[in-house]
Amino acid sequence: MLVMSGRAMSFGAVAEAYERFRPGYPAELFDMVTAYAGQPVRTALEIGSGTGKATRLFAERGVAVTATEPDGAMLAELRKHVPTGVRTVQAAFDDLRPGERYGLVYAAAALHWTSPEGRWTRMAALLEPGGVFASFGGPMQPADPAVATAVRTARAPFLENDDVPSPDGTPPEHDMQWPGTELQRSEWFTGVQQRQIERRLAMSARDYVGQLSTISAYLVLPATEREQALRQIMKVLPETVEIVADLTVHLARRRYEP
């Protein structure tokens, strides 16, 4: 189980690097979520908001966002960058208690850190009937297969894989990926959709390694091994790294009655 593990709570130590090297989210994502909602989204609760990359996407377009994040250092970094008016709460999703309901609840590359027990009942309690749940994220990989292979080879002595495995074991070739698989089984949600947003980025080798340094699989390595792994990866990179950074988006609507 991945929930609130050392990996989940490893990001605060690199909050400034996370803000610097992780990419933001495109306007296309906001448009996709609001088109699915079918009406203006006025209030939103964000789960695991990190340094506020997704917070900005919604708040800058007029949504009243409540950003929740369990790590105090990440939340402090978020507060430096988000618009005035964003409400911030230091709390994990599993610690949130029903109260105010929102038109949208969303998680940006954070849902896999939440506990599976009662996940969708808790989620439904935070949503207005008919409200929208959205989850989005995806790995960033070198677009050039030769570069991707060189990176895997360089990190192999230290780290076999830097991905976060599917929380419910859904194989990568399955048409519907997690959390869509769980949403389809939940009595609380309907209209489950999985969509893709293609993204191609270009960054310097140093920035790419900076981005890797914020990934949990590297963060939980002993410091010496982490530094060695990143140094070896740096050696095999071209000056500019072309990146595939596609977003997988899952959307669902809270039923009026379960």
Q: Per-residue pLDDT for the chain (258 aa), expressed as one digit of tens each?
A: 344 454 444 555 689 999 999 999 999 999 999 999 999 999 999 999 999 999 999 999 999 999 999 999 999 999 999 999 999 999 999 999 888 999 999 999 999 999 999 999 999 999 999 999 999 999 999 999 999 999 999 999 999 999 888 999 999 999 999 999 999 999 999 999 999 999 999 999 999 999 999 999 999 999 999 999 999 999 999 999 999 999 999 999 999 976
Look up residue 156 and give its two tokens. Answer: 């192999």
Do 159 and 229 touch, CB atoms closer than 8 A?
Answer: yes
Q: Of all helices (H) and strands (E), which one includes residue 243? A: strand 240-244
Look up residue 55 and give its two tokens. Answer: 């917070």
Quote the pLDDT of residue 8.
45
Cα–Cα distance, 206 to 199 (Å, whole number): 20
List the chain domain ranges: 11-140+164-199+244-254
Cα–Cα distance, 229 to 209 (Å, whole number): 10
Tell me the HSE value of 7 on the side-chain side, using a 13 A CA sphere: 15
State how far the alpha carbon of 236 is from the alpha carbons of 80, 152, 201, in Å: 35, 10, 19
Do 129 and 207 touch, CB atoms closer than 8 A?
Answer: no
Neighbouring CB atoms inside 10 A of 220's CB total: 15
Which residues have C-beta within 8 Å of that of residue 11, sequence separation ≥ 6? 18, 50, 71, 73, 74, 214, 216, 219
Paired with 160 in beta bridges are none
Quote the pLDDT of residue 163.
87
**Exposed (0-12), middle (13-18) or buried (19+): which is 135, by Cβ within 10 Å?**
buried
**Exposed (0-12), middle (13-18) or buried (19+): which is 171, by Cβ within 10 Å?**
exposed
Cα–Cα distance, 113 to 121 (Å, whole number): 16
Quote the pLDDT of residue 2.
40
Residue type, 231: R
Question: In CATH, what number does 11-140+164-199+244-254 get?
Answer: 3.40.50.150
Residue type, 209: V
